Chain A
Amino acid sequence: MAYSNKVIDHYENPRNVGSLPKDDVNVGTGLVGAPECGDVMKLQVKVNPATGVIDDAKFKTFGCGSAIASSSLATEWLKGKTVDEAMAIKNTDIVNELSLPPVKIHCSVLAEDAIKAAIADYKKKQGVERSAEKAAQPTA
Protein backbone atom coordinates (compact mmCIF):
# COMPACT_ATOMS: atom_id res chain seq x y z
CA MET A 1 0.00 0.00 0.00
CA ALA A 2 1.36 3.38 -0.96
CA TYR A 3 1.29 6.29 1.43
CA SER A 4 0.26 9.68 0.09
CA ASN A 5 2.90 12.39 -0.19
CA LYS A 6 1.35 14.26 2.72
CA VAL A 7 1.58 11.21 4.96
CA ILE A 8 5.20 10.71 3.98
CA ASP A 9 5.94 14.39 4.63
CA HIS A 10 4.45 14.25 8.12
CA TYR A 11 6.15 10.93 8.78
CA GLU A 12 9.57 12.17 7.72
CA ASN A 13 9.19 15.65 9.22
CA PRO A 14 6.73 15.27 12.04
CA ARG A 15 5.54 18.61 13.45
CA ASN A 16 5.37 19.34 17.15
CA VAL A 17 6.89 16.15 18.49
CA GLY A 18 7.51 16.28 22.20
CA SER A 19 5.69 16.81 25.42
CA LEU A 20 4.25 19.56 27.59
CA PRO A 21 4.31 19.58 31.39
CA LYS A 22 1.62 17.10 32.33
CA ASP A 23 0.86 18.71 35.68
CA ASP A 24 0.37 22.23 34.30
CA VAL A 25 -3.26 23.17 34.90
CA ASN A 26 -3.45 24.71 31.42
CA VAL A 27 -2.22 21.55 29.73
CA GLY A 28 -4.56 18.75 28.69
CA THR A 29 -3.17 15.31 27.91
CA GLY A 30 -4.83 12.59 25.85
CA LEU A 31 -3.35 9.12 25.71
CA VAL A 32 -5.09 6.65 23.41
CA GLY A 33 -4.24 3.34 21.81
CA ALA A 34 -5.26 0.90 19.13
CA PRO A 35 -4.91 -2.62 20.52
CA GLU A 36 -5.31 -4.23 17.10
CA CYS A 37 -2.08 -2.74 15.80
CA GLY A 38 -0.38 -2.03 19.10
CA ASP A 39 -0.23 1.72 18.45
CA VAL A 40 -0.14 4.27 21.24
CA MET A 41 -0.62 8.02 20.77
CA LYS A 42 -0.14 10.89 23.20
CA LEU A 43 -1.44 14.32 22.31
CA GLN A 44 -1.25 17.43 24.49
CA VAL A 45 -2.65 20.95 24.24
CA LYS A 46 -1.68 24.06 26.16
CA VAL A 47 -4.50 26.54 26.47
CA ASN A 48 -4.06 30.26 27.11
CA PRO A 49 -6.26 30.81 30.17
CA ALA A 50 -7.00 34.42 29.21
CA THR A 51 -8.19 33.77 25.65
CA GLY A 52 -9.20 30.10 25.69
CA VAL A 53 -7.06 29.61 22.59
CA ILE A 54 -4.70 26.66 22.17
CA ASP A 55 -1.20 28.16 22.20
CA ASP A 56 0.74 25.00 21.79
CA ALA A 57 0.19 21.35 20.91
CA LYS A 58 2.58 18.41 21.05
CA PHE A 59 2.34 14.74 20.25
CA LYS A 60 4.27 11.55 20.45
CA THR A 61 3.05 8.47 18.64
CA PHE A 62 4.47 4.98 18.55
CA GLY A 63 2.82 3.36 15.57
CA CYS A 64 2.53 3.26 11.82
CA GLY A 65 3.16 6.13 9.40
CA SER A 66 -0.52 7.01 9.14
CA ALA A 67 -0.92 7.22 12.91
CA ILE A 68 2.12 9.49 13.16
CA ALA A 69 0.93 11.65 10.27
CA SER A 70 -2.61 11.88 11.68
CA SER A 71 -1.40 13.09 15.06
CA SER A 72 1.21 15.40 13.55
CA LEU A 73 -1.44 17.03 11.39
CA ALA A 74 -3.80 17.26 14.37
CA THR A 75 -1.27 19.27 16.38
CA GLU A 76 -0.79 21.64 13.44
CA TRP A 77 -4.51 22.23 13.21
CA LEU A 78 -4.98 22.61 16.95
CA LYS A 79 -2.67 25.58 17.36
CA GLY A 80 -4.62 28.83 17.28
CA LYS A 81 -8.00 27.16 17.67
CA THR A 82 -10.28 27.66 20.64
CA VAL A 83 -11.15 24.65 22.73
CA ASP A 84 -14.61 24.49 21.15
CA GLU A 85 -13.19 24.72 17.64
CA ALA A 86 -10.77 21.92 18.49
CA MET A 87 -13.65 19.71 19.56
CA ALA A 88 -15.17 20.17 16.11
CA ILE A 89 -12.21 18.54 14.31
CA LYS A 90 -13.44 15.35 12.71
CA ASN A 91 -11.48 12.27 11.73
CA THR A 92 -12.89 12.63 8.22
CA ASP A 93 -11.09 16.00 7.91
CA ILE A 94 -7.84 14.17 8.60
CA VAL A 95 -8.71 11.35 6.18
CA ASN A 96 -9.35 13.89 3.42
CA GLU A 97 -6.27 15.99 4.08
CA LEU A 98 -3.93 12.98 4.18
CA SER A 99 -5.82 10.87 1.58
CA LEU A 100 -5.82 7.92 3.97
CA PRO A 101 -6.94 4.61 2.44
CA PRO A 102 -9.86 2.76 4.08
CA VAL A 103 -7.58 0.41 6.06
CA LYS A 104 -5.95 3.42 7.72
CA ILE A 105 -9.07 5.32 8.66
CA HIS A 106 -8.79 4.04 12.22
CA CYS A 107 -5.55 6.04 12.57
CA SER A 108 -7.50 9.24 11.99
CA VAL A 109 -10.13 8.10 14.50
CA LEU A 110 -7.35 7.56 16.99
CA ALA A 111 -6.18 11.14 16.42
CA GLU A 112 -9.69 12.49 16.89
CA ASP A 113 -10.03 10.46 20.08
CA ALA A 114 -6.69 11.84 21.28
CA ILE A 115 -7.86 15.44 20.68
CA LYS A 116 -11.10 14.80 22.56
CA ALA A 117 -9.25 13.08 25.41
CA ALA A 118 -6.77 15.98 25.70
CA ILE A 119 -9.53 18.58 25.77
CA ALA A 120 -11.53 16.53 28.29
CA ASP A 121 -8.44 16.32 30.51
CA TYR A 122 -7.92 20.09 30.22
CA LYS A 123 -11.57 20.80 31.09
CA LYS A 124 -11.45 18.40 34.01
CA LYS A 125 -8.36 20.16 35.36
CA GLN A 126 -10.00 23.56 34.96
CA GLY A 127 -13.11 22.34 36.73
CA VAL A 128 -11.11 20.90 39.57
CA GLU A 129 -9.01 24.07 39.73
CA ARG A 130 -12.08 26.29 39.92
CA SER A 131 -13.72 24.21 42.61
CA ALA A 132 -10.39 24.21 44.47
CA GLU A 133 -10.38 28.05 44.28
CA LYS A 134 -13.91 28.14 45.56
CA ALA A 135 -13.03 25.79 48.39
CA ALA A 136 -10.08 28.03 49.24
CA GLN A 137 -12.27 31.10 49.72
CA PRO A 138 -12.47 32.33 53.27
CA THR A 139 -15.33 30.74 55.09
CA ALA A 140 -15.15 32.71 58.29
Chain B
Amino acid sequence: MSSSISSPTLQVCRACSGGAPVDAHFCPQCSKILALGRHGDYFTFLGLPRKLKLDAEDLEQRFRRLSRQFHPDYFYNATPAERRASLERSSYLNDAYRTLRQSIARIEYLLQIEGLAPKNPQEASRQVPPALLEEVFALNEELDEIRDLRASGASAEVWKGRLEGARQPIEAKRVEHESQLQELSARWDALVDAGAGESDRRAALEALRDRFLERNYINNLLAGIERELNS
Protein backbone atom coordinates (compact mmCIF):
# COMPACT_ATOMS: atom_id res chain seq x y z
CA MET B 1 0.00 0.00 0.00
CA SER B 2 1.64 3.23 -1.06
CA SER B 3 1.33 6.38 1.00
CA SER B 4 0.64 9.78 -0.47
CA ILE B 5 4.30 10.71 -0.22
CA SER B 6 5.65 7.95 -2.42
CA SER B 7 2.90 8.20 -5.06
CA PRO B 8 4.41 8.33 -8.55
CA THR B 9 3.88 11.53 -10.54
CA LEU B 10 4.78 10.35 -14.03
CA GLN B 11 3.91 7.54 -16.37
CA VAL B 12 5.37 6.55 -19.69
CA CYS B 13 3.33 6.20 -22.89
CA ARG B 14 3.87 2.71 -24.29
CA ALA B 15 3.02 3.88 -27.81
CA CYS B 16 5.51 6.75 -28.19
CA SER B 17 7.65 6.37 -25.02
CA GLY B 18 6.87 9.97 -24.13
CA GLY B 19 6.28 11.03 -20.53
CA ALA B 20 2.81 11.83 -19.24
CA PRO B 21 1.50 13.05 -15.87
CA VAL B 22 0.26 10.16 -13.74
CA ASP B 23 -3.32 11.46 -13.84
CA ALA B 24 -3.41 11.76 -17.66
CA HIS B 25 -5.59 9.29 -19.54
CA PHE B 26 -4.29 10.10 -23.00
CA CYS B 27 -0.70 10.75 -24.02
CA PRO B 28 -0.03 14.49 -24.37
CA GLN B 29 2.45 13.72 -27.18
CA CYS B 30 0.76 11.14 -29.40
CA SER B 31 -2.78 11.42 -27.92
CA LYS B 32 -3.14 7.62 -27.68
CA ILE B 33 -4.98 6.17 -24.71
CA LEU B 34 -2.48 5.29 -21.98
CA ALA B 35 -2.19 1.79 -20.56
CA LEU B 36 -3.34 1.62 -16.96
CA GLY B 37 0.12 0.78 -15.70
CA ARG B 38 1.31 3.39 -13.30
CA HIS B 39 -1.66 5.37 -12.17
CA GLY B 40 -2.77 7.53 -9.26
CA ASP B 41 -5.71 6.82 -7.00
CA TYR B 42 -9.46 7.11 -7.58
CA PHE B 43 -9.37 10.80 -6.70
CA THR B 44 -6.62 11.76 -9.13
CA PHE B 45 -8.09 9.45 -11.77
CA LEU B 46 -11.25 11.55 -11.71
CA GLY B 47 -9.29 14.80 -11.44
CA LEU B 48 -10.49 15.43 -7.88
CA PRO B 49 -8.61 16.66 -4.80
CA ARG B 50 -8.20 14.05 -2.04
CA LYS B 51 -11.13 15.43 -0.07
CA LEU B 52 -14.19 13.88 1.51
CA LYS B 53 -16.82 16.45 0.65
CA LEU B 54 -17.77 15.86 -2.91
CA ASP B 55 -20.40 17.29 -5.23
CA ALA B 56 -22.40 14.28 -6.42
CA GLU B 57 -23.44 15.95 -9.66
CA ASP B 58 -19.90 16.98 -10.52
CA LEU B 59 -18.70 13.45 -9.80
CA GLU B 60 -21.31 11.97 -12.09
CA GLN B 61 -20.41 14.36 -14.90
CA ARG B 62 -16.75 13.48 -14.60
CA PHE B 63 -17.66 9.79 -14.63
CA ARG B 64 -19.83 10.15 -17.72
CA ARG B 65 -17.28 12.23 -19.59
CA LEU B 66 -14.49 9.72 -18.97
CA SER B 67 -16.81 6.78 -19.67
CA ARG B 68 -17.40 8.16 -23.11
CA GLN B 69 -13.71 8.83 -23.71
CA PHE B 70 -12.68 5.31 -22.67
CA HIS B 71 -15.59 3.48 -24.24
CA PRO B 72 -14.35 0.26 -25.89
CA ASP B 73 -16.56 0.98 -28.93
CA TYR B 74 -14.26 3.84 -29.88
CA PHE B 75 -11.28 1.50 -29.87
CA TYR B 76 -12.83 -1.17 -32.00
CA ASN B 77 -10.28 -0.65 -34.78
CA ALA B 78 -7.37 0.34 -32.56
CA THR B 79 -4.32 -1.75 -31.68
CA PRO B 80 -4.71 -4.56 -29.15
CA ALA B 81 -2.76 -2.48 -26.63
CA GLU B 82 -5.17 0.43 -27.00
CA ARG B 83 -8.20 -1.87 -26.80
CA ARG B 84 -6.83 -3.33 -23.60
CA ALA B 85 -6.12 0.16 -22.24
CA SER B 86 -9.68 1.25 -22.97
CA LEU B 87 -11.05 -1.77 -21.09
CA GLU B 88 -8.69 -1.27 -18.16
CA ARG B 89 -9.49 2.41 -17.86
CA SER B 90 -13.23 1.77 -18.16
CA SER B 91 -13.11 -0.84 -15.46
CA TYR B 92 -10.96 1.26 -13.13
CA LEU B 93 -13.27 4.21 -13.72
CA ASN B 94 -16.29 2.13 -12.70
CA ASP B 95 -14.54 1.05 -9.48
CA ALA B 96 -13.52 4.63 -8.76
CA TYR B 97 -17.02 5.97 -9.32
CA ARG B 98 -18.71 3.24 -7.28
CA THR B 99 -16.33 3.87 -4.37
CA LEU B 100 -16.27 7.65 -4.35
CA ARG B 101 -19.97 8.25 -4.74
CA GLN B 102 -20.76 6.69 -1.34
CA SER B 103 -19.57 8.76 1.58
CA ILE B 104 -18.68 5.74 3.75
CA ALA B 105 -16.82 3.88 1.01
CA ARG B 106 -15.04 7.16 0.26
CA ILE B 107 -13.75 7.48 3.82
CA GLU B 108 -12.68 3.82 3.89
CA TYR B 109 -10.85 4.31 0.61
CA LEU B 110 -9.11 7.44 1.88
CA LEU B 111 -7.94 5.56 4.99
CA GLN B 112 -6.66 2.79 2.74
CA ILE B 113 -4.63 5.00 0.39
CA GLU B 114 -3.29 7.00 3.33
CA GLY B 115 -2.07 3.74 4.86
CA LEU B 116 -4.41 3.77 7.86
CA ALA B 117 -6.65 0.82 7.08
CA PRO B 118 -5.88 -2.12 9.40
CA LYS B 119 -3.45 -4.51 7.70
CA ASN B 120 -5.53 -7.49 8.78
CA PRO B 121 -8.54 -8.34 10.99
CA GLN B 122 -6.26 -9.09 13.96
CA GLU B 123 -4.82 -5.60 13.89
CA ALA B 124 -8.31 -4.09 13.68
CA SER B 125 -9.39 -6.26 16.55
CA ARG B 126 -6.62 -5.00 18.80
CA GLN B 127 -7.55 -1.39 18.11
CA VAL B 128 -11.05 -1.64 19.57
CA PRO B 129 -11.23 0.19 22.89
CA PRO B 130 -12.24 -2.15 25.77
CA ALA B 131 -15.01 0.25 26.88
CA LEU B 132 -16.69 -0.09 23.49
CA LEU B 133 -16.57 -3.90 23.73
CA GLU B 134 -18.08 -3.80 27.23
CA GLU B 135 -20.89 -1.59 26.00
CA VAL B 136 -21.57 -3.68 22.91
CA PHE B 137 -21.51 -6.89 24.92
CA ALA B 138 -23.99 -5.50 27.45
CA LEU B 139 -26.34 -4.30 24.71
CA ASN B 140 -26.17 -7.69 22.99
CA GLU B 141 -27.00 -9.40 26.28
CA GLU B 142 -29.97 -7.12 26.72
CA LEU B 143 -31.23 -8.11 23.25
CA ASP B 144 -30.75 -11.76 24.16
CA GLU B 145 -32.82 -11.31 27.32
CA ILE B 146 -35.57 -9.60 25.35
CA ARG B 147 -35.62 -12.54 22.90
CA ASP B 148 -35.92 -14.93 25.84
CA LEU B 149 -38.69 -12.80 27.32
CA ARG B 150 -40.54 -12.90 24.03
CA ALA B 151 -40.00 -16.65 23.66
CA SER B 152 -41.39 -17.20 27.15
CA GLY B 153 -44.69 -15.68 26.01
CA ALA B 154 -44.46 -12.15 27.39
CA SER B 155 -47.02 -9.76 25.92
CA ALA B 156 -45.99 -7.73 22.87
CA GLU B 157 -46.41 -4.56 24.88
CA VAL B 158 -43.85 -5.71 27.42
CA TRP B 159 -41.09 -6.95 25.11
CA LYS B 160 -41.58 -4.21 22.54
CA GLY B 161 -41.34 -1.62 25.27
CA ARG B 162 -38.09 -3.10 26.47
CA LEU B 163 -36.77 -3.37 22.94
CA GLU B 164 -37.55 0.29 22.39
CA GLY B 165 -35.69 1.05 25.60
CA ALA B 166 -32.67 -0.87 24.27
CA ARG B 167 -32.88 0.82 20.90
CA GLN B 168 -32.71 4.38 22.18
CA PRO B 169 -29.11 4.44 23.46
CA ILE B 170 -27.89 2.61 20.33
CA GLU B 171 -29.76 5.00 18.06
CA ALA B 172 -28.28 7.92 20.00
CA LYS B 173 -24.86 6.38 19.49
CA ARG B 174 -25.50 6.07 15.77
CA VAL B 175 -26.52 9.72 15.47
CA GLU B 176 -23.42 10.75 17.42
CA HIS B 177 -21.28 8.49 15.23
CA GLU B 178 -22.64 9.99 11.99
CA SER B 179 -22.14 13.54 13.19
CA GLN B 180 -18.58 12.78 14.27
CA LEU B 181 -17.84 11.30 10.86
CA GLN B 182 -19.09 14.49 9.24
CA GLU B 183 -17.13 16.69 11.59
CA LEU B 184 -13.92 14.72 11.08
CA SER B 185 -14.43 14.65 7.32
CA ALA B 186 -14.76 18.44 7.32
CA ARG B 187 -11.63 18.67 9.47
CA TRP B 188 -9.70 16.55 6.98
CA ASP B 189 -10.86 18.70 4.05
CA ALA B 190 -9.83 21.87 5.88
CA LEU B 191 -6.37 20.38 6.52
CA VAL B 192 -6.00 19.49 2.83
CA ASP B 193 -7.05 23.02 1.83
CA ALA B 194 -4.60 24.54 4.30
CA GLY B 195 -1.78 22.28 3.13
CA ALA B 196 -1.39 21.08 6.72
CA GLY B 197 1.59 19.00 7.83
CA GLU B 198 1.79 15.22 8.05
CA SER B 199 1.18 14.99 11.80
CA ASP B 200 -2.07 17.02 11.73
CA ARG B 201 -3.30 15.05 8.75
CA ARG B 202 -2.47 11.79 10.42
CA ALA B 203 -4.25 12.76 13.62
CA ALA B 204 -7.42 13.54 11.67
CA LEU B 205 -7.23 10.22 9.81
CA GLU B 206 -6.61 8.26 12.99
CA ALA B 207 -9.68 9.85 14.55
CA LEU B 208 -11.70 8.78 11.51
CA ARG B 209 -10.32 5.26 11.69
CA ASP B 210 -11.23 5.01 15.37
CA ARG B 211 -14.80 5.99 14.57
CA PHE B 212 -14.95 3.23 11.97
CA LEU B 213 -14.20 0.62 14.63
CA GLU B 214 -17.64 1.17 16.17
CA ARG B 215 -19.59 1.38 12.95
CA ASN B 216 -20.34 -2.31 12.38
CA TYR B 217 -21.20 -2.83 16.04
CA ILE B 218 -23.80 -0.08 15.95
CA ASN B 219 -25.23 -1.31 12.65
CA ASN B 220 -25.38 -4.95 13.79
CA LEU B 221 -27.17 -4.02 17.01
CA LEU B 222 -29.73 -1.90 15.16
CA ALA B 223 -30.21 -4.63 12.55
CA GLY B 224 -30.79 -7.14 15.36
CA ILE B 225 -33.49 -4.92 16.83
CA GLU B 226 -35.14 -4.42 13.44
CA ARG B 227 -35.17 -8.18 12.86
CA GLU B 228 -36.83 -8.70 16.22
CA LEU B 229 -39.48 -6.05 15.57
CA ASN B 230 -40.28 -7.42 12.12
CA SER B 231 -40.37 -11.12 12.88
Give min CB distance, B125 to chain A, whole Å.
5
Within residues 140 to 163 of chain B, which ones have a CB less than 8 A from any CB in chain A?
Answer: 140-141, 144
8 further A-B contacts with Cβ under 8 Å, apart from A34-B125, A62-B136, are: A33-B217, A35-B217, A37-B216, A38-B216, A38-B217, A40-B140, A106-B125, A109-B125
A40 touches B122 (CB 8 A): no
Q: Mark A52-76, 1 if CB is under 8 A from B, else 0.
A: 0000000010100000000000000
Of B125, B134, B140, B141, the contact of A35 (CB 8 Å cutoff): B125
Task: Assess whether B130 is interfacial by the CB under 8 Å rule.
Answer: yes
Q: Mark A20-38, 1 if CB is under 8 A from B, else 0.
A: 0000000000011111111
Interface residues of B (CB under 8 A from A): 118, 120-122, 124-128, 130, 132-134, 136-137, 140-141, 144, 212-217, 219-220
Q: Is the CB of B121 within 8 A of A34?
A: yes
Smallest Cβ-Cβ distance to A113: which chain B residue: B125
> Are the CB atoms of A35 and B137 closer together than 8 Å?
no
Give chain B nearest CB distance to A116 CB in angstroms: 11
**Residue from B120, B121, B137, B215 within 8 A of A40 (CB atoms):** B137
By a beta-carbon cutoff of 8 Å, the part of chain A in contact with chain B is: 31-38, 40, 42, 60, 62, 106, 109-110, 113
> Can you list 29 A-B pairs with a CB-CB distance of less than 8 A?
A31-B133, A31-B134, A31-B137, A32-B128, A32-B133, A33-B125, A33-B133, A33-B217, A34-B124, A35-B124, A35-B125, A35-B212, A35-B214, A35-B215, A36-B118, A36-B121, A38-B217, A38-B219, A40-B136, A40-B140, A40-B217, A42-B137, A60-B141, A62-B140, A106-B120, A106-B121, A106-B125, A109-B122, A113-B126
CB distance from B143 to the nearest CB of A (A): 8
A34 — which chain B residues lie within 8 A by C-beta?
Answer: 121, 124-125
Q: Do B130 and A36 have beta carbons less than 8 Å apart? A: no
Tell me whether B122 and A38 are in contact (CB under 8 A): no
Q: Which residue of B lies closest to A106 (CB)?
A: B121
Enumerate chain A residues within 8 angstroms of B216, measured Cβ to Cβ: 35-38
B127 contacts A35, C-beta separation under 8 Å: yes
Residues of A within 8 A of B126 (CB): 113
Q: In the complex, what residues of B have CB within 8 A of residue A113's CB?
A: 122, 125-126
Chain A residues lying within 8 Å of B220, measured Cβ to Cβ, are: 38
Residue numbers in A under 8 Å from B140 (CB-CB): 40, 62
Asked if B133 and A106 make an inter-chain contact with CB atoms under 8 angstroms apart, the answer reads no
**Which chain B residue has the least Cβ–Cβ distance from A112?**
B122
Query: Does the CB pair B128–A33 fall under 8 Å?
Result: yes
A60 to B132, CA, bound (A): 16
Complexed CA–CA distance, A42 and B141 (Å): 11
Which A residue's beta carbon lies closest to that of B135? A40
Known: A35-B213, A35-B216, A40-B217. A62 touches B124 (CB 8 A): no
In angstroms, how far is the closest chain B Cβ from the Cβ of A59?
12
Chain A residues closer than 8 Å to B118, beta-carbon distance:
36
B137 near A62 with CB under 8 A, answer: yes
Q: Which residue of B lies closest to A91 (CB)?
A: B122
Q: Shortest CB–CB separation between residue A129 and chain B, in angstroms? A: 21
Q: Which residues of A contact B215 (CB under 8 A)?
A: 35
Measured between beta carbons, the chain B residues less than 8 angstroms from A37 are: 216
Nearest CB of chain A from residue B119's CB, rounded to whole Å: 12
- Given A31-B134, A38-B219, A42-B137, verify A106-B212 contact (CB < 8 Å): no
Across the interface, name the chain A residue whose C-beta is closest to B219: A38
